[in-house]
Amino acid sequence: MLLGKNLHIASSYLIYLGCAFALFTVPFGLNIGRNVFYLSSYIAFIMIVLNFRHYTKNKFNLFVSSCLLALGIAIILWVARYKQQDEYINIYRAYMGTARLQIAAAFIMLFALNEKIPTKKIAIFTGIFAGVIVNAFGLYQGLWLGMTRISLNFDRATIVAYILTAISLVMMQSILMMRIRYRLVIYTISFAFTYSTLLLTGTRAAIIAYPIIIFLSIMATKNLINGNQKKLLLLALPLLIVISGLVFKKQIEMRINDFQNNIAMVDNTKVENSVYARVWMQIVGIRTGNTAPLGQSAEKRADEARTIISNEPRLYNAKRYLTVHLHNEVLETYSLRGIWGVLLLVATYASLLILSFRPKRNVMLLGVSLALILYGLSDVLFFSIECTAVFLISIIISILANRSQDEEHNQNV
């Protein structure tokens, strides 16, 4: 039995309001949002300890949360084992920061998965409000301030694209979950709104992946829309993509030209090539991981990578990223934390996908999880503290949006 119903309700709202506040502020680089998120996790941890049997009774919920918890703890242990004060210190600091967020999110996730009070309305309001604010500011930067690639308050447009994707996916599904007359019209307008913002980031992965994830989300949605409504939305998507492309033709042409230039300069190893560099980094990631299948330091990986590059000059472009990351979540993990690190990462991915379909289908969580995995093929999301925070909060919001008063009987599934 829960320790004090009133205490539980008060704690729940404090935790969820903290997550909502973090979702509004972290995308703008405000540290206060991250601190509030940590505070929410402390409250969740205390409540779990006080009601330990209740929160560990559902083994599936415990497994999902434990995967994320184990991932965070393992990264911290790796940092503690290898951290040095040298040119690679930023790698250790970045992973320490994201690991702390993973551990914090694991406790909030376990708390949310076993929630008794209805949280659907809070989650939907949070998703829509945060989506409107962040995307509106992005459009303001691109259209009124004339930024070539919008950056919110960061120095990397790609990170902004990932953040916008997570928030926009939560917003889009929240709109479908609203019981209002013109929600399908609002949904289509919102797609054009959010996709336009992503176009202004100039991030090719997001420009391609976002419509695909939206398409899959519409296909996976049950009960909220019928077959005819699905067809209308699916037919509207290509039209909206074309319209958005025509409006932002200049930005798209610039990214296409950049892509073509990268392809043309494949043999020029002395010029930075963002397209082929990703391929070379993945090759380096596999080979350096093979030399230390149980894990190694960032310093040792760099030494191995330099030896490989010296023997194969075409891999030169990978060299500049050795003090950051290798632009692939799985291979980056393999090259530093070995097989055990990859197993924990894949287990976390798999648990989120499974959770998307039980105890009932959660399309919002499915969309966010797919974005996390797909973007991880060309970048390392768990390297950026802000990006990690937004995705983890979006996952929590997705869980809360899928809960309502009539679901209490599913607690023991």
Rounded to 5 degrees, what angle do the CA atoms 336, 342, 344 make?
Answer: 120
Position 142, amino acid? G
- Report whether pLDDT(156) > 90: no
Distance, C-alpha 204 to centroid of its chain: 16
Which of 200-209, 213-222, 244-253 shows the lowest per-residue confidence on average (mean pLDDT)? 244-253
In a domain, 33, yes or no: yes
Model pLDDT, residue 234: 92
What residues make up the domain containing 22? 5-258+327-404
CA distance 90 to 96: 10
Q: Which residues contact 246 (CB under 8 A, 6 or more apart)?
A: none
CA distance 217 to 357: 12
Tell me the per-residue pLDDT of 248-295, one tens digit each, with 9 for 90 and over. Answer: 777 777 777 766 666 655 555 555 656 677 888 999 999 999 999 999
In a domain, 70, yes or no: yes
- Report whether pLDDT(412) > 70: no
CA distance 80 to 167: 33
In a domain, 77, yes or no: yes
**CB of 172 closer than 8 Å to CB of 194:** yes
Q: Which residues contact 210 (CB under 8 A, 6 or more apart)?
A: 165, 168, 194, 195, 198, 371
DSSP per-residue letters across 241-283: HHHHHHHTHHHHHHHHHHHHHHHHTTT-TTS--HHHHHHHHHH
**CB of 187 closer than 8 Å to CB of 229:** no
Retrieve residue 382's tokens.
């768990």
Q: Angle, nearest 10°, between helix axes 227-247 and 183-199?
A: 30
* Helix, coil or strand: residue 401: helix
**CB of 312 closer than 8 Å to CB of 337:** no
In a domain, 390, yes or no: yes
Position 279, amino acid? V
**CB of 163 closer than 8 Å to CB of 27:** yes
Q: What is the mean pLDDT of the chain?
A: 90
Is residue 6 packed enough to be buried (19+ CB in 10 Å), middle (13-18) or exposed (0-12)? exposed
Count how many domains the chain has. Answer: 1
Q: How many CA atoms lie within 13 A of 249 on its CB side?
A: 4
In a domain, 284, yes or no: no
Model pLDDT, residue 207: 92
Let me know how long the chain is. Answer: 413
In a domain, 400, yes or no: yes
Model pLDDT, residue 411: 44
Model pLDDT, residue 262: 60
* Helix, coil or strand: residue 297: coil
- Which pTM was predicted? 0.93
315: confidence class by pLDDT, cuts 50, 70, 90: confident
Tell me the per-residue pLDDT of 72-87, one tens digit each, with 9 for 90 and over. Answer: 999 999 999 999 999 9
* Helix, coil or strand: residue 30: coil
In a domain, 305, yes or no: no
Position 95, amino acid? Y
CA distance 382 to 388: 5
- Report whether pLDDT(38) > 60: yes
Tell me which H or E stretch contains 278: helix 274-291
CA distance 239 to 335: 42
CA trace torsion 271, 273, 278, 280 (10° rounding): -40
In a domain, 38, yes or no: yes
Q: Which residues contact 134 (CB under 8 A, 6 or more apart)?
A: 27, 28, 152, 163, 164, 167
DSSP state of 116: -
Count other C-beta atoms under 10 Å from residue 117's C-beta: 16
